[in-house]
Amino acid sequence: MLLAGRRLDNIGLALEQRGGSPAGYMPVDIYDSWMRCIALGLDMRQPPPPEFVSPAVLRQEQQRCSLVRGLALAEMHTLHQQISGSNFMVAFASSEGLLLDIIGDRSFRDASDAAGIRPGALWTERHCGTNGLGTAAHLKRPVAVHGDQHFFPRYNNLTCVAAPIFAPDGELTGILDASSDCLSRQTHTQALVGMAATQIENGLFREYHRGDILIAFHNRGEYLHTLSAGLLAVDEDGRILSANRAARVLLHGLPAAAGRHFADVFRTDFNRFVDEGRRSERQSLEDDVGSQFVATIENTRQFPMLSQPRVTAPPPPTPTATEFVSADPAIAAIVRQVETAAARKMPILVRGETGTGKEQLARHAHAASRRTGAFVPVNCAALPDSLIEAELFGYAEGSFTGARKGGATGLFKEADGGTLFLDEIGDMPVSLQAVLLRFLDDWTVRPVGGAKRKVDVQLVSATNADLDESIAKGRFRADLLFRLNTLEVTLPPLRERTDFADIAKHVMARIDPSARLTPGAIERLAELEWNGNIRQLRNVLSRLSLAEQGGLIGEAAVKAAIGDLAAKRLSAGAPSSGGLKRGLRELQRAQLLGAYAEAGNNVSKAARRLGVSRNMIYRALREPD
């Protein structure tokens, strides 16, 4: 708390005058940070200029942190969706305080650039005084720095909330930060940042121990797939390798440290526990003091039945072939989670921007499930409201006017034994959501005018909408979301993935196997923002393949193709010297507005025509000309 009548911008003088610790001026963590800044010789009246590393060093550090960075980018995208629209920026820094990635509102970008908040900047206390990133890195715990709590007045218009990210070995591996102007301060931001940091830590835990037995557990079954679940990694002999922070809390007082045995902590027999985990998604687990947990083994498919002799154990299943590129560590972790969930017939919800590959991931889930039925995709936004229930659940002959002779089995029945993919689930009418919820209770379809029948369906849903906002506005049922997202994953946009080159080569090989992209062409393409993601990349590569007709496609061809296309589609002519990024953005907006006009200013119809979300149309309409 601040003392009445005294301001933080006078604290330097106050410290000199008192020669002691004015404990009432500010929170202890902030006061201690100011003392460190003074000890470093920093003068709040003469802040040093922002310091940046070279582009080469930045790229090297981004590559060195590729695993945690990939996981962080996915969480940053989700976090920014939760707090965007209020002059916010989300940043990720290395453990040394080097900014590696930023996602920000457009309204925040100019101000952040002026303040030196961009990739390559050093944000330690030594360089920037008391600030969220630098102070969290020093304290190794979450911290909030508001307004004039910053040591340098140049940052007094900011509120910064930061949380450290730890590797499974306990070492600091990164810092996550959300910053806003003080007028946009949100009380729940600190909790959201902390949750995102925990999600990244759990992703790192799963990645580090993907070859070990991973046990998730909690006292309450409904929290088994949440951030509060404990994660325990053990080897095939039952030796504990590591436990996440939630597991250490749940097992407080028990010998759950690395090197101890499963039997030192739990009364449940280890071999029987693992073998039962291969047959059941959930089972009971009792610790040595009698506490009861609900537990699941996340990756039992790769381990033999431990109670059988090793010589007769069945071999692990052959890895599932996939067309889904997953060289990015964060994407690889998502793919493994999806494979495990699909093998157990768990409903999966895939979030992500339009064009990020949600359907391709759903198809991979179908392949990983090894189900013999069909993969049936359904675009919920494209089905007419009056017929969507009949399309999904089928109908009997004569059940309504226009029903065809013999009726229809319905898409759920078509997917029996296979996978039903509900795309744009956020656009499903509320009335049908209640029907879908009943289906998830008993997996029984009720055709219009027909008899009930059981089906065996793997359900995968996808959306680019903010379902939390839809729930708040009454457009989506919270209880349905809880049933759809037994596993929920978010695909990051193409601009945030670390495997762009692999994606570009894969897409081009599918378009024209004889064509090849040079490293220069790939580097030029990687510089673009790709608001349309992989779908937009596919369109651009298709045009390049037509222009080149096989052979090598170089940097000049990429630059010319994008520039020529923008010149043809924009009344203002070719992109100016502002660069290819702006040209591609303007091209995309022109396409969206053109489709909107052709659809008679109907947003839904334009979105269906282009195969994009309505939010993309709305954003194009809001952008200034």
> For residue 39, what pLDDT is reported?
92
DSSP E strands in 122-251: the ranges are 143-146, 158-166, 172-181, 213-218, 230-234, 240-243
Q: How confident is the model at residue 129 (pLDDT cuts 50, 70, 90)?
A: very high
Average pLDDT rounded to a whole number, residues 283-294:
91
Mean model confidence pLDDT for the chain: 79
Measured between alpha carbons, how far is 477 from 77 in angstroms, rounded to an integer? 23
Measured between alpha carbons, how far is 619 from 599 in angstroms, rounded to an integer? 17
Average pLDDT rounded to a whole number, residues 55-62:
84
Measured between alpha carbons, how far is 428 from 63 in angstroms, rounded to an integer? 41
pLDDT digits (tens, 9 = 90+) for 440-474: 877 887 776 566 778 888 999 999 888 878 888 88
The contacts of residue 61 (CB under 8 Å, 6+ apart) are 53, 94, 98, 100
pLDDT digits (tens, 9 = 90+) for 61-88: 887 888 888 888 878 877 777 776 557 7
Name which of 110-124, 145-159, 258-272, 484-498 the model is least confident about. 110-124
The contacts of residue 445 (CB under 8 Å, 6+ apart) are 393, 394, 410, 412, 413, 439, 452, 453, 455
> For residue 50, what pLDDT is reported?
87
The residue whose two tokens read 């010789």 is 41
Q: Is the pLDDT of residue 301 over 70?
A: no
By percentage, how much of the chain surpasses pLDDT 70?
75
Name which of 102-106, 506-510, 517-521 the model is least confident about. 102-106
Q: How confident is the model at residue 136 (pLDDT cuts 50, 70, 90)?
A: very high
pLDDT digits (tens, 9 = 90+) for 511-534: 888 888 998 888 888 888 888 889
Q: Which of 15-19, 103-107, 112-116 has the highest mean pLDDT?
A: 103-107
CA angle 236, 237, 242 (to 5 degrees): 75
Q: How confident is the model at residue 614 (pLDDT cuts 50, 70, 90)?
A: low
> For residue 576, what pLDDT is reported?
42
pLDDT digits (tens, 9 = 90+) for 332-391: 888 888 888 888 888 899 998 888 999 999 999 999 888 888 998 888 877 666 566 677
Q: Is the pLDDT of residue 569 over 60?
A: no
